[in-house]
Amino acid sequence: MTRARDARWPGALGVLGEVRRTPGVTRAEAARRLGLGSGSATEITARLRALNLLDEVPAPVVGRGRPTTCLRPHPEGPLVAVVEVRYEGWRCALSAIDGRPSTVVARRHGHRDARKVVREIAAALGDLRRRHGHRLRAVSVSVAGAVRHGRLVQATTIGWDAVDLSEILPDDSVPLLIGNDATLAGLAEARGGAAVGAGTVLHLTVEVGLGGVLVVGGLPVTGASGAGGEYGHLPFGDRSRRCLCGALGCWDNEVDGRALARHLDAPPPDDPYAYALEVLARTDRDDEAADAVRRVARALASGIAGLVNAHDPEVVTLGGLAPLIRAAAEAEFDAAYLDGLMTFRRADPIPLRPAALGEDGALIGAAAAGLDLVLSETGLNDWVAELEQSTDRQL
């Protein structure tokens, strides 16, 4: 039975892609978008159904004509476990091939002991593996820190040093992906959020520091080792200030709660995100707060303008505190943005849009990254091989 080894996936990848892009597409619509004949559509969907990859249910009737079916993830189909590690806690979710993660476990942590958190997550993932067996095809982790070669190398936000997150899985029988939270959120915005359809998307998010990613053609530009998108460590800021990351003049330090605290002559806040929210909330009655927010807004907007000059995105999506900062000091923000643009861009400036997926962006992006792997040629070959083994076992 070497057939499966050689299996190629012409057409099938396209159909699965349509299901991901538009969960619940009808078979007819998917075929139309892919330019497939009805014959090919029949064959492809039949094969995918036989492989437990797709399920077809009668579509709601809309007009006359023979009713078609809706394509959905198969109830016994592959799953991706997604984990989000944040400042204040972590959560774990499961996603079928439609890329819609549903939360399974969420827990707060004291963010002191990285090893303890790793053990907790490992337990949750072990549970999922026991429950879903071979259906669990990948684990995709979003983490608030710099990631390199699948390892967390710097997480000043959480207060962790380099942590080897590969220990959340006992072995490498399931592929493990580690991604930066801002990168994954940007991926999600580009694929199915505020920037759907745009070819080049710049996503920037301010939480503690600033992160982001450039997404080109639906793929994040993550660089050679996966550490791309650390826009917060561009030297847009004060060159005499050393960042926690080790570099000088990082933008990171000019746009978040720590910057607000400095402008207000307050001590560095314990939780800069909460602090920023608090300052933002009182700008209408506190002139000093409003002034600090204006300074931060200018620093943020002029940097964004520079990145627009450099990258020429079709749209910029803003996550985390960024839309709030803009809203709180819109005039200063927009003026600084325009002032930082090259002249030829001023007539029709690139739109800055608030992120559409909010808190779930990173989780959805992690699911997308995991599914990219599972629904690739090799991923599907593995799935088929596993499927044949398990049917062999049953015979």
Partner DNA sequence: CGTATTATCCTCGATGATCGAGCATAAAAG
Partner DNA sequence: CTTTTATGCTCGATCATCGAGGATAATACG
**How many residues of this chain bind a second copy (CB under 8 A)?**
50
Q: Name the residue nearer to DNA (CB basis): 39 or 197.
A: 39
Binders in 4-43 for DNA, by CB under 7 A: 7-8, 10-12, 26-29, 31, 35-43
Give the SS3 label for residue 277.
helix
Task: List the single partner that 231 binds among a second copy, DNA, none, CB under 5 to 8 Å by kind.
Answer: a second copy
**How many residues of this chain bind DNA (CB under 7 A)?**
32
Residue 384 binds DNA, judged by CB under 7 A: no
Single out the residue of 340, 361, 365, 379 in contact with a second copy (rule: CB under 8 A): 340
Residue 245 binds a second copy, judged by CB under 8 A: yes
Cα(121)–Cα(169) distance, integer angstroms:
9
Single out the residue of 1, 62, 224, 331 in contact with a second copy (rule: CB under 8 A): 224
Cα(282)–Cα(289) distance, integer angstroms:
7
Cα(274)–Cα(287) distance, integer angstroms:
19
Cα(139)–Cα(123) distance, integer angstroms:
13
Single out the residue of 247, 264, 266, 373 in contact with a second copy (rule: CB under 8 A): 247
- With contacts defined by CB under 8 A, name the span among 71-79, 84-92, 113-121, 247-255 that binds a second copy: 247-255
Residue 3 binds DNA, judged by CB under 7 A: yes
In the chain, where do the E strands start and end? 54-58, 69-73, 79-85, 89-95, 102-108, 136-143, 146-148, 151-154, 176-180, 200-207, 209-216, 219-220, 315-320, 352-354
Q: How is residue 89 written in tokens?
A: 């806690």
CB atoms within 10 A of CB 350: 21
Task: List the single partner that 44 binds among a second copy, DNA, none, CB under 5 to 8 Å by kind.
Answer: DNA
Instruction: Give the burial class of 289: count Cβ atoms within 10 A of its Cβ; 0-12 exposed, 13-18 middle, 19 or more buried.
Output: buried
How far apart are CB 139 and a second copy at their closest, in Å?
23
Residue 383 binds a second copy, judged by CB under 8 A: no
Task: List the single partner that 210 binds among a second copy, DNA, none, CB under 5 to 8 Å by kind.
Answer: none
- With contacts defined by CB under 8 A, name the span among 223-231, 255-263, 361-369, 373-381 that binds a second copy: 223-231
Residue 309 binds a second copy, judged by CB under 8 A: yes
Order of all β-strands in the sheet with 176-180: 102-108, 89-95, 79-85, 136-143, 176-180
Q: Name the residue nearer to DNA (CB basis): 350 or 384.
A: 384
Single out the residue of 20, 25, 55, 68 in contact with DNA (rule: CB under 7 A): 68
In our burial notation (b when 16+ CB lie closer than 10 A, e otherwise), range 90-114 reads bbbbbbbbbbbbeebbeeebebeeb
Residue 226 binds a second copy, judged by CB under 8 A: yes
CB 99, CB 371: distance < 8 Å: yes
Task: List the single partner that 314 binds among DNA, a second copy, none, CB under 5 to 8 Å by kind.
Answer: a second copy
Kindly list the residues in this chain that would bind DNA in the complex (CB under 7 A).
3, 7-8, 10-12, 26-29, 31, 35-46, 58, 61, 63-69
